[in-house]
Amino acid sequence: MGLLIDGRSRPRWSSGPDELVAERSSGLGPEGRGGVGAVRALRTGRVVTGERLTELVRGRRLAYEDAFNHVLRDYRAVVGLEPVNGGGTAISWHGAWRMRPGVGWVMPFVLPRVMRRMADDLASCSAQESETGAETAAEIGGGADEPRS
């Protein structure tokens, strides 16, 4: 889970965001990690969106919601990590949202593919870091915070 909760590492392992925007983020430590309630602002091209962490379960689950997003409303996503018999970790990344008028109509076609790509990117980076002895997605977590109401 180390890669998941480390906002600064996201551009390194994900083919989506270009950078963590520190001045629009809140509740993150200098290393880019934060607990429940932290907001990670991620820039992709010229667009900056924010994710507010709503749940962290060590080595098992990370949930977040949109803190600011010009295309989606009420976006919530959950990333689940499950150990697999024989080694490894299954990654699931699912979200739900309401569309804003205008460009929002395309999201049901685009967002599931984006989530799948991020899960694949996370798995690939975790596998590479496992081979080198670095932290992996499932080995490291930031404590067992309770879901926020």
pLDDT of residue 148: 31
pLDDT for residue 132? 59
Beta strands in the chain (DSSP E): 19-20, 26-28, 34-44, 47-57, 61-68, 72-83, 89-99
Q: Tell me, what amino acid is at 67? A: A
Q: Is 102 contained in some domain? A: yes
Domain contains 145: no
Question: Is there a domain that residue 37 lies in?
Answer: yes
CATH of the domain at 44: 3.30.530.20
Residue 103: inside a domain, yes or no? yes
pLDDT value for 106: 76
Residue 146, in any domain of the structure: no
pLDDT of residue 16: 83
* Nearest Cα residue to 77 out of 47, 103, 42, 105: 42
**Domains in the chain, number:** 1
Quote the pTM value: 0.80
- Within a domain: 139: no
Task: Please answer whether residues 64 and 41 qualify as being in contact, where contact means their C-beta atoms are separated by less than 8 angstroms.
Answer: no
Residue 48 lies in a domain: yes
Q: If the chain, 149 residues long, is cut into consecutive pieces of 10 residues, what is the mean pLDDT of each piece?
A: 84 89 93 91 93 94 92 90 89 87 76 88 86 46 32
Is 88 part of any domain? yes
What pLDDT is recorded for position 23? 94
Residue 63 lies in domain: 2-132
